[in-house]
Structure 1
Amino acid sequence: MSADPAGSGRARRAAWWIAQWQQPGPAQAVLLPLSWLFAGLSAARRQLYRWGVLRSHAVPRPVIVVGNLIAGGAGKTPVVIALVQLLRQMGHVPGVISRGHGGRHTDGARLVTHSSDPAEVGDEPLLIHLRTGAPVAVARQRVLAAQALCQAHPAVTVLVADDGLQHLALARDLDVLVFDDRGIGNGRLLPAGPLRQHLPAALPPRTLVIYGAGQPSTPLPGFIGWRRLGTIFTLQDWWVTDAVTSRVVRLRDRPLLAAAGLARPEAFFTMLEAQGLKITRLPLPDHFDYATLPWPPDTPDVIVTEKDAVKLRPDRVGRTQVWVATLDFALPADFQAALQRLLPPAAPTR
């Protein structure tokens, strides 16, 4: 089985850069002046917010921002999904707002529905809506997304912002920082390193840290969560049912092409192999659009992530059997108590 689309080459180049960011080297040294410029501009922007020249805008509900300091995907979306489920258990009615990265939505806000086009609203917002059933709104300005969502769904008691840690125009009540096994990489800011902002010397107020790799990867105190392979559906079943019908045992008997449009697809491939599946790896660029199928038309079996599945409809894959592997994130039990202490009381609904 072979598959080597142009997108796979772009994915390999992106993976190469992510690997280079893990330790100082000559390639990063060349980019240090650009990192200093990035640091200066970021610091100036934050100072303008502190002085009140630029303003953070409050929205009608408490806001929890789930974000990360590092570029290249740290597992925010699974944490958002798990957090939405936890908030429901705590008696809240959560909604989700997002920029809708990769989508072509206009400057206004757009509500995400089951039939939304991921090319318009972004693949991750659509996935969050499909997995949780929570109302989701996207807009380049998260404040507009929050206002639109609260107006359309007045029963919502708390908003979860998928990404947006550096989006200072949105006032927030709580930040949740997500780290994977890379920690802060080489410790340098973009583009010489992976950091969007420096690691703080101490845990900032009203901030919780989640480590998704089973152990801490920075000096900040935090909670240990873990990602795990969940149910595997046929693409047809994934779109129409919530039934828990795992097919891992059945799939161990056949070769699979594993395709993943993620920033770091290696973790997904490793999970599949740990289940005894025989896969050929097909890494694709993050947010790969699937406008053209990246595998040969005679490929019998392909397994993808849910982030890929939102861009694949059963009538587009021909005779290929596409399987969808869900990825779940488990939050530790003591995280709920910490969240409860920091989360403001739910705003009354109208």
Structure 2
Amino acid sequence: MNWLDRHGYSLNLVAVLLWPLSLLFGVAVRGRRLLYKHGLLHSEAVGAPVVVVGNISVGGTGKTPLVARLVELLREAGYKPGIVSRGYGGQSAEWPRHVTVDSDPSQVGDEPVMLARRCRCPIVVDPDRVAAARVLLETYDCNVVLSDDGLQHYRLRRDIEIAVICGSRRLGNEACLPAGPLREPPSRLREVDFVIGNGAARSGEYLMSLRGETAVNLNDPCVSSALTGFRHGTVHAVAGIGDPGRFFDHLRHARLRLIEHPFPDHHRFKPEDIHFRQDLPVLMTEKDAIKCRAFAAEGCWCVPVDAWLDPDFEEHFLKRLAAIALAKGIRRERGKPGRGAGTHPQPDVSRE
């Protein structure tokens, strides 16, 4: 359990002592947003509709699976989406970087590589998301930009903002850093276009659920097993995500017996992190598998999850985007029915 998990999700002495610093932090982020809002700091448009998927809290809320689902949804509606990301954790000496299924997650970040494998669409990463979006549009035949995270990256002008909230942890003690987990005050949620509740939704929010009932072998992706097949014994559960407990709860919901191994978000895994004395299956998240596949043993499996969204959200989101695309002169092809993205032509993303 990290520091924020211990102190940021309840009212406790540490949080109370840090509250004055949180108030100053909140004033600073509000002031920065007002400077952009009134044009004193300049935001830049990139010529195509920009949809930002982010959150106001530190840690994982399920943004990346939502982005993957939005790629499918946009393709079904006849758009040509591409993704930009900061590439958190990437150590590349040069930016921007074009991400492919074979990209090194240590260079471009784990989540972009996971999205490349899942979505098979153009992805460009750069700490400067404006530069990433411009390269994306100049290089590939995209007409919608999805920003994975970046709700606070105001220099990239956005047309639609989607904020994701963890349905169980919510906003913690509702304090900004360092007393709480928030990057911006709770009032920021009133300004976004859509609020998605991952696992549970309150009034004014749309529900998202993550579903994944199959494990895929890391050594041979053609080999898979239903999670129910692991009920006969105990498994090692490995998670290096923002909220490891969410993954562990997912496995427990499938009635598995776990030995939990939580790691920090974006952890750089080493062989000893997933090799244990007990000869038991090792189950991990899809994001962690991206970094562990090269040294995974035969008994290592990942559990991919898909985001399932409230149909009302999908309808309202597409209507909002259609109006924006029309105003920008963006034309789209006739969409194809079906949830899967595999039935759609894939753009060439071979450039690294």
Question: RMSD between aligned alpha carbons?
Answer: 2.0
Taking structure 2 as the reference length, the TM-score comes to: 0.86
Match runs of 1:51-66 below 5 Å: 51-66=38-53
Secondary structure in structure 2 of the residue aligned to 1:83:
helix
Question: Which residue number corresponds to residue 172 of structure 1?
Answer: 158
More divergent stretch after superposition (98-107 vs 164-173): 98-107
Deviations 1:26-58 (A, max 9, x none): 111121232122123213322322342321010
Deviations 1:56-107 (A, max 9, x none): 0101321000011111211111111111111111111111100011111246
User: What is the Cα deviation at residue 249 of structure 1?
Assistant: 3.3
Distance 2:153 2:229 in 1: 45
Distance 1:310 1:38 in 2: 35
Give 2:58's match in structure 1, choosing from 51, 59, 71.
71
2:291 aligned with 1:311: yes
Question: Which residue number corresponds to residue 231 of structure 1?
Answer: 214
Is the 1:18–1:72 Cα contact (8 Å) retained in structure 2?
no
User: What letter corresponds to residue 293 of structure 2 in structure 1?
Assistant: R
Give 2:282's match in structure 1, choosing from 302, 318, 322.
302
Give 2:234's match in structure 1, choosing from 225, 242, 255.
255
Is the 2:217–2:298 Cα contact (8 Å) retained in structure 1?
no
Match runs of 1:272-291 below 5 Å: 272-291=251-270
Is the 2:213–2:227 Cα contact (8 Å) retained in structure 1?
no
Is the 2:237–2:259 Cα contact (8 Å) retained in structure 1?
yes
Instruction: Sort the Cα spacing of 1:178 and 1:284 in 2 relative to 1 into closer, same or farther, 3 A.
Output: same
2:7 aligned with 1:20: yes
Identity score, percent: 36
Deviations 1:257-298 (A, max 9, x none): 111001211111111122122221111111111134314455
* Number of positions where the alignment pairs a residue of Structure 1 with one of Structure 2: 325
Deviations 1:182-238 (A, max 9, x none): 22221111111111111228733x60111112332xx6x121111122421101233
Instruction: Sort the Cα spacing of 1:32 and 1:175 in 2 relative to 1 into closer, same or farther, 3 A.
Output: same
More divergent stretch after superposition (36-45 vs 59-68): 36-45
User: What letter corresponds to residue 330 of structure 2 in structure 1?
Assistant: A
Is the 2:130–2:155 Cα contact (8 Å) retained in structure 1?
yes
Please list every run of 5 or more consecutive structure 2 residues that lacks an aligned counterpart in the other structure: 333-352
Match runs of 1:180-219 below 5 Å: 180=166, 181-200=168-187, 203-204=190-191, 207-216=193-202
Instruction: Sort the Cα spacing of 1:202 and 1:188 in 2 relative to 1 into closer, same or farther, 3 A.
Output: closer
Question: Which residue number corresponds to residue 9 of structure 1?
Answer: none
User: What is the Cα deviation at residue 127 of structure 1?
Assistant: 0.6
2:123 aligned with 1:136: yes
Question: Which residue number corresponds to residue 159 of structure 1?
Answer: 145
User: What is the Cα deviation at residue 255 of structure 1?
Assistant: 2.4
Deviations 1:136-159 (A, max 9, x none): 110000011111111221x21211
Distance 1:187 1:46 in 2: 19
